[in-house]
Amino acid sequence: MFYGITPKSRLMLGTAQYPSPRVLGDAIAASEAEIITVSLRREGAGGAGFRDLIKASGCRLLPNTAGCHSAREAVTTAQMARELFGTNWIKLEVIGHADTLQPDPFALVEAARILCADGFEVFPYTTEDLILGEKLVEAGCQVLMPWGAPIGSGQGLRHEDALRTMRAHFPDVPLVIDAGIGAPSQAAKAMEMGFDAVLLNTAVAKAGDPVTMARAFAGAVQAGRLAHEAGLMGQRDMAVASTPIFGMAALS
């Protein structure tokens, strides 16, 4: 699914803002996630204790360039992450707007080209814009990570029609909904729409009970994927009786 790796879980989990290392570890286990992210700039890699914790989780690490506002910053941060964590995987974030944290499309493509040429396997945080997606794929990205809504907003899938169009436009590219998911029902919706995975952080980390919430998201993502694979019924304008009239006994 992702650069030759096919994880069993379609839930990817962020590691920031948890109330304690113990809660983080328990939440990772409850989520059943096999891929977790860490921000090198915002967390300073968390120190040796944090690195030991994520290593003990057994998960594959996806470092990210959160907090970067230029292609140069993002490339430098990615190179530091590769040296520190020993992986070519990088979640590429280049922020262009301070309030919405919307990515800068021009700097994002520039950084993606540089990193892909340097042997990185890039997971770009992007919008649902089709042209931007095409440019990222042309740059060498084999995965796209469109936002559901602004990071940390909990608004869910704000532009469902655009996301459905993106899914149809890139049938052979793994698409991961990244950012804005606030409830398990929203994650299930993304999976029902045919997205390949969901990446979230705040909805679990800031929950009253992060461990239970992580478990809820694990179930929701699995249920949504199963529903997509089974095939959802279409919507109708009128009611249709579930029990046919033909063949029923006539009582008199």
pLDDT, the chain, mean:
91
All structural domains of the chain: 13-230 (3.20.20.70)
Confirm or deny that 201 is annotated as ligand binding.
yes
Strands (E), 55-203: 60-64, 89-92, 121-126, 145-146, 176-178, 197-200
Assess whether pLDDT exceeds 60 at residue 39: yes
* Confidence (pLDDT) at 247: 62
CB 152 within 8 A of CB 190: no
Between 104-113, 217-226, 230-239, the lowest mean confidence (pLDDT) is in: 230-239
CB 94 within 8 A of CB 68: yes
Distance, in Å, from the CA atom of 206 to the CA atom of 101, rounded to the nearest integer, reads 19
Confirm or deny that 202 is annotated as ligand binding.
yes
Confirm or deny that 139 is annotated as ligand binding.
no
pLDDT band at 52 (very low <50, low <70, confident <90, very high): confident
Selecting among 8, 55, 91, 135, the annotated active-site residue is 91
In DSSP terms, 177 is beta-bridged to: 198
Distance, in Å, from the CA atom of 156 to the CA atom of 150, rounded to the nearest integer, reads 9
Place of tokens 């190179």: 79
pLDDT band at 240 (very low <50, low <70, confident <90, very high): confident
Q: Is the dihedral of CA 21, 25, 28, 30 positive or negative?
A: negative
pLDDT band at 134 (very low <50, low <70, confident <90, very high): very high
**Helix H or strand E segment including 162:** helix 160-169
Active site residue 91: yes
Distance, in Å, from the CA atom of 203 to the CA atom of 231, rounded to the nearest integer, reads 28
* Confidence (pLDDT) at 101: 87
Which three-class secondary structure state does DSSP give residue 165?
helix
* Confidence (pLDDT) at 158: 93
Assess whether pLDDT exceeds 90 at residue 246: no
Span between the terminal Cα atoms of the chain, in Å? 61
**Residues ≥6 apart with Cβ < 8 Å to 191:** 10, 198, 220, 221, 223, 224, 225, 227, 228
Confirm or deny that 179 is annotated as ligand binding.
yes
